[in-house]
Amino acid sequence: MSRIAYVNGQYVRHADAAVHVEDRGYQFADGVYEVCEVWQNKIVDMPRHLDRLGRSLGELRIDWPMSRAAVEFVLRQVVTRNRVRNGLVYIQVTRGVSKRDHFFPPEDVAPSIVITARSSSPEAAKAQADQGIAVVSYPENRWPRVDIKTVALLPNVLAKQNAKEHGGKEAWYVDGDGNVTEGGSTNAWIVTKDGVLVTRPAESGILRGITRAAVLELIDREGLSFEERPFSLEEAFEAKEAFVTAATSVVMPVTRVDGRIIGNGHPGSVATRLRELFHTATDLQTV
């Protein structure tokens, strides 16, 4: 079956999907995006993702391309038309198509919207979680407004490619103080030797992850010890466990950082348990 994409009001074959050469997303990375997990034919935390989409649009002064209800409808349609039971659904909104000019286009230029979906293998994800992943540190070099989920991801691409070339699956950005900010496409966590979960505050300097929020609710519900504070790379090396969170990976154990074994070198019990319980702390919207 051919994949289907939604592009500016039309459902088209994925192979034929295209945007204009002067779309500002292409010319200036002038746009934002969201990715929702699809789990057992349900879109995970769609309200939270669309809340964050609305915030990102507002911060960049881009209008919604259609009503929020219409976006929800199209998200469901794209998932259904692609027969995605487990996978991801992606939405991107840009400021629209206009002649290349750094200034905002005229007010009558409509924002562009693209929505796609693809299937993934729960079995493959579980196999990776059972093994754990390696991360590689990288100097923090992004603009200060990483709290906006923009499509300007070139620093992330370079960081993650560096990780791949050094045997890692993910990158961890490290700021000038030696503290981990977040991953190239994830939020970063450790579990101290005393069993305290630690992750950086999301007021500034990191993206306020939707999966992160669900994990915080799980931590509270399960009565686990938690501190929201920066942690250093050295502290991560000495941690009992480490893991990352994102819609694309849910809760993914980290077993190596910069080639150094974390804990006993196997996925930890806290991360494994949070992964098992994750969907009990999320809003599940049936497609």
Active site residues: 149
For 280, the enclosing helix (H) or strand (E) is none
Contacts with 70 (C-beta within 8 Å, 6 or more apart), sequence order: none
The edge-to-edge listing of strands for the beta sheet with 31-39 is 10-13, 4-7, 112-119, 87-94, 31-39, 42-44, 284-286
Instruction: Give the number of residues written for the chain.
Output: 287
For 283, the enclosing helix (H) or strand (E) is none
Q: Dihedrals φ, ψ of 176, to 5°? A: -65, -20
The CA dihedral of 51, 186, 40, 10, to the nearest 10 degrees, is 60
CA 222-227-231 angle, to 5 degrees, is 130
Contact 94, 63 (CB under 8 A): no
